Amino acid sequence: MATFVLIPGMCHGGWCFDELTGGLRDHGHRVHPLTLTGLGERAHLLRGGVNLDTHIQDVAGVLAAEDIRDAVLVGHSYGGMVITGVADRMPDRVTALVYVDAVVPGNGDSCWSLVSDRERQWYADVEETGHATRPLPFFDARATPHPIASLLQPLRLTGDPAQVRRRVYAYAAGWDGESPFTPVYRRLREDPSWTTHALDGGHNLMRDAPQDLLKILLDAVEPHAHPSSATAVIP
């Protein structure tokens, strides 16, 4: 039995992992789908001081409070910033990192610095309070504004991200237009220390390719029992 901690992307809450959570639990694993401070059911906590450090502490606090010592951290999109920071601060409690069409930051990177101009244009659409970026119109009705400070704050790492040996990247090959994550996927698929997958779905792989994504997560903890077969050839 493994323990999965699921971190959503911008504007989303733990609800976006509902189907994935059920599938992992059906296989006997513990699952913690988290909603970060200032979002979803925690939107009432949104304020100017909510930043990337806040979100890293959200997850670190769960690992400590639940005494989780074998965490498989799964981060979608912006969530890649968060799981990288948590693994840096608590490497002894993390056994694997799974990036789901996500940013993969190094020391000094911010979400803002890692995406394309199209995404930065969206980030700059800040609501009247000045604290948060508005959800895009096609998002789920449950989506809430995302703390802008968390997108601008650089990540500070104190160790080597490679200290977590099991690192997996699931790339969404079906974006409508150019994906900001294509360069990340191309780089990591040439790195033997990473396991990479390309799935036939849009950025929201939890919605577009839930069974394929489930196989990838199961393979992260049971590599010979659940081979992932859904891939696409990306030039």
Q: Which residues are catalytically annotated?
A: 77
DSSP state of 188: H
Question: Is the CB of residue 51 less than 8 Å from the CB of residue 97?
Answer: no
Q: Is 73 exposed, middle or buried (0-12, 13-18, 19+ CB in 10 A)?
A: buried
Question: Is the CB of residue 101 less than 8 Å from the CB of residue 75?
Answer: no
Measured CA to CA, the distance from residue 104 to residue 96 in angstroms comes to 14
Residues 6+ apart with CB under 8 A from 85: 52, 53, 55, 56, 155, 157
Measured CA to CA, the distance from residue 233 to residue 207 in angstroms comes to 21
Give SS3 for 13: coil
φ, ψ for residue 208, nearest 5 deg = -85, -30
Instruction: List C-alpha distances in Å: 223 to 35, 79, 161, 199.
Output: 28, 23, 21, 18
